[in-house]
């Protein structure tokens, strides 16, 4: 099997498809979103937040076998990339997944690799 040497689509179809491409800003934001999910530690954090919403750093650290410092670092990165949100209760800070989209992407990826 070889790559095709010429375009098979009619020019009007090519132009129609080009008009539907993602814009540069959307591709950049999406790539950062997927990059935020590309680390095993962050995936483990997402998973435990799926299992139990609103966990503090110490609980997450215990559940994913990382130091509190490492978890805090990962959560800060995840917060910047809109994967998690925070809730304060006095001096304690609790984390949860930002919205159902994060859960959906995680579930789809897990389903994909399990096929």
pLDDT at 8: 87
pLDDT at 6: 77
CA dihedral for 39, 114, 85, 64, sign (positive or negative): negative
Name which of 41, 28, 103, 100 is nearest 75 in CA terms: 41
List, for the chain, all residue ranges whose pLDDT scores fall below the cut of 70. 1-3
Q: At the topology level of CATH, where does 11-114 sit?
A: Arc Repressor Mutant, subunit A (1.10.10)
Compute the CA torsion angle 59, 64, 70, 75 (nearest 10 deg). -70
Structure tokens at 48: 């435990």
Contact call for residues 61 and 71 (beta carbons, < 8 A): yes
Domain ranges of the chain: 11-114
pLDDT at 2: 62
Q: Is 84 exposed, middle or buried (0-12, 13-18, 19+ CB in 10 A)?
A: buried
Look at the block and give the residue holding tokens 């990382």. 66
Contact call for residues 72 and 57 (beta carbons, < 8 A): yes
């Amino acid at each position: 099997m070889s790559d095709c040497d010429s375009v098979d689509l009619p020019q009007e179809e090519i132009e129609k498809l080009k008009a539907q491409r993602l814009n540069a800003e959307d591709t950049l934001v999406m790539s950062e979103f997927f990059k935020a999910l590309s680390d095993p530690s962050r995936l483990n954090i997402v998973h435990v937040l799926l299992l139990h919403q609103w966990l503090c750093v110490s609980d997450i650290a215990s559940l994913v076998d990382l130091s509190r410092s490492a978890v805090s670092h990962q959560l800060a990165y995840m917060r910047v990339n809109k994967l998690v949100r925070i809730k304060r209760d006095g001096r304690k800070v609790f984390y949860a997944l930002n919205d159902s989209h994060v859960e959906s992407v995680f579930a789809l990826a897990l389903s994909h690799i399990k096929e």
